[in-house]
Amino acid sequence: MQENVPHAGRGETDGEAIPHWHDPDGEAMTIVEGEGATVYDDEGSAYLDLISQLYCTNAGHSNEAITDAMTAQMERIPYVSSAKGNDVRDALADDLAKIAPGSLSEVYFSVSGSEANEAAAQIARTVQDAPKVLTRWQSYHGGTAGAGSLTGDPSTRSTLGRYAATTGSEKFLPPLPTAFDADSPEDLAEQAANHVEFVIQNEGADSVAAILMEPIGGTSGGYPAPPGYFERLREICDEYDVLLIADEVITGFGRCGEWFGIETESVEPDMITFAKGVTSAYAPLAGVIADEWIGETVREEGYDLGQTFAGHPVACAAGRAAIDEYESHLIDDARELAPVLESRLEELAATHDVVETVRGRGFLWSVVFADPETGEPFVHPWAGDDDEENPVAAVREAAADRGALFGNGRPDVQILIAPPLCTTRAELERGIDALEEAIEETFE
């Protein structure tokens, strides 16, 4: 492991690179090593990774239990056709059925979160014999053509343009105070859920296969639902025979204090989609966990869709080891530290008037900024991620200069926090100190 030398002061991006496009000559930070909650760049600078890269290295970096399990599997047999049986794949499916809530027990593997959501949508259409899957504005479910049509965030939709509307996904408003004129969180929950019922009625309940939602909004702003929202949605889904699908790509595997984010609400979904944390991102793996009857129906109806790398044995070995790590201590450790994170962030909101609110659950939080004089975001919320005038981006840069990495939301009006579950109290405190100093430097 490299020495923990002071960071060289390079920010997260030069503002020129197109996100996710390979850019070998750009100024973007180049991360080359990691251990626990720390990553190191190519100049040897250390950064606390308080965003688990992309909300996914839940067990932290370089966890030996996971890398050893992957090596052992590579030495046994690295790949087995996804159309054949494999012992490790079967064992992981059993593990997932055990940790999934209620009667969710049928596992369908895919490779990425986008593909898992497309699969869940297609499974819902198959068993319901109905074409539409409803999702929220201010949501993220993936960037491929099908999953992109489920996504309700402005940057994805502007990239996909009119093609984002082609695969039977209609949108409804999220349960956010900005979307409704509500007097209280309970009123917001009721108005937002009634609105979903109105959309289902107007789309025609027979044409709606499912509604698909993140239990706690992820990259769209780390927002939990107001109390009672999910209970009411479950009632509406039952009344209109619509499936409820929880996109747990970010919120799964201990991120919000339980195995799955939906368990922090008192409802059971019909399907869960997962990715990222299942292997702590040590290898790409994703999928759907469906209620027993859904698996049975799909088997009867036939469902001939699959992917070569779905349920890759090396990824499945990583998944089994990661689940062991979560179960043996990581979920409990993070649950114990979550109140520290929450109280530090609430203090930040109470003492800095540019912080409009903080919201989240467990180890997934969002610090939302607004101009204290107008109550409006500093940049127009739909301006895009790379607006150079955006002070929220400047806060992230200043925090990175202090050795702490945070995430950006879509739209970029908040800072997202999703530390690895192995982050220590001292690291958490150091990271929030860096954020506080960064806010003060940016807005002084």
In the complex, which residue's CB is closest to ligand PMP?
A: 113
Structure tokens at 44: 């040897």
- The binding track of 259-298 with respect to ligand PMP, each residue x by CB under 6 A or -, is ----------------x-----------------------
Which residue of 34, 36, 60, 142 would you call a contact of ligand PMP, by CB under 6 A?
A: 142
218 is an interface residue for ligand PMP by CB under 6 A: yes
Contacts of residue 76, Cβ cutoff 8 Å, sequence gap at least 6: none
Strand arrangement, sheet containing 208-213: 104-110, 286-291, 271-274, 243-247, 208-213, 132-136, 171-172
Binding mask 62-81 toward ligand PMP (x if CB under 6 A, else -) reads --------------------
Distance from C-alpha of 176 to C-alpha of 223, rounded to nearest angstrom: 8
Judged by CB under 6 A, does residue 407 bind ligand PMP?
A: no
Q: Which stretch binds ligand PMP (CB under 6 A): 110-118, 237-245, 313-321, 331-339?
A: 110-118
Is residue 222 involved in binding ligand PMP (CB under 6 A)? no
Binder of ligand PMP out of 7, 61, 132, 141 (CB under 6 A) = 141
Cβ distance to ligand PMP smaller for residue 285 or 432: 285
Beta carbon nearer to ligand PMP, 89 or 141: 141
How many Å apart are CA 197 and CA 199, to the nearest integer? 5
Q: Does 113 bind ligand PMP (CB under 6 A)?
A: yes
Query: Which residue, 2 or 264, is less far from ligand PMP as judged by CB?
Result: 264
Side-chain-facing half-sphere of 198: CA atoms under 13 Å: 8
Shortest separation between residue 106's beta carbon and ligand PMP, angstroms: 20
Nearer CB in complex with ligand PMP: 114/191: 114
Rounded CA separation 140/249 (Å): 10
CB of 150 or CB of 233, closer to ligand PMP: 150
Main-chain dihedrals φ then ψ at residue 115, nearest 5 degrees: -70, -35
Give strand pairing partners of 273.
247, 288
| Strands laid side by side in the 355-361 sheet | 355-361, 364-369, 414-417, 407-408
Q: Which two tokens stand for residue 269?
A: 């979904």
What residue type is 360 in one-letter code?
G
Residue 160 CB contacts under 8 Å (≥ 6 apart), including other chains: 143, 145, 148, 149
Contact window for ligand PMP (CB under 6 A) among 7-15, 106-114, 288-296, 363-371: 106-114
Closer to ligand PMP at the Cβ: 111 or 434? 111
- Out of 45, 57, 110, 114, point to the residue binding ligand PMP (CB under 6 A): 114
Q: Which amino acid is at 219?
A: T
**Is the distance from CB of 227 to CB of 185 less than 8 angstroms?**
yes
Count of residues that interact with ligand PMP, criterion CB under 6 A: 15
Q: Which of 342, 435, 366 is closest to 394 using CA atoms?
A: 435
State the minimum distance, in angstroms, from the CB of residue 192 to ligand PMP. Answer: 19
For strands 208-213 and 132-136, give the pairing: parallel
> According to CB under 6 A, which one of 12, 214, 265, 412 is a site residue for ligand PMP?
214
Which one of residues 57, 110, 117, 366 is an interface residue with ligand PMP (CB under 6 A)? 117
Closer residue to ligand PMP, CB minimum distance, 56 or 398: 56
Question: x/- contact string, 244-263, with ligand PMP (CB under 6 A)?
Answer: ---x-xx-------------
Partner residues linked to 208 by β-bridges: 132
- Neighbouring residues of 350: CB distance < 8 A, sequence distance ≥ 6: none
217/431 with CB nearer ligand PMP: 217
Angle between helices 313-325 and 64-76 (to 10 degrees): 150
Binding site for ligand PMP (CB under 6 A): 54, 112-114, 117, 140-142, 214, 218-219, 247, 249-250, 275
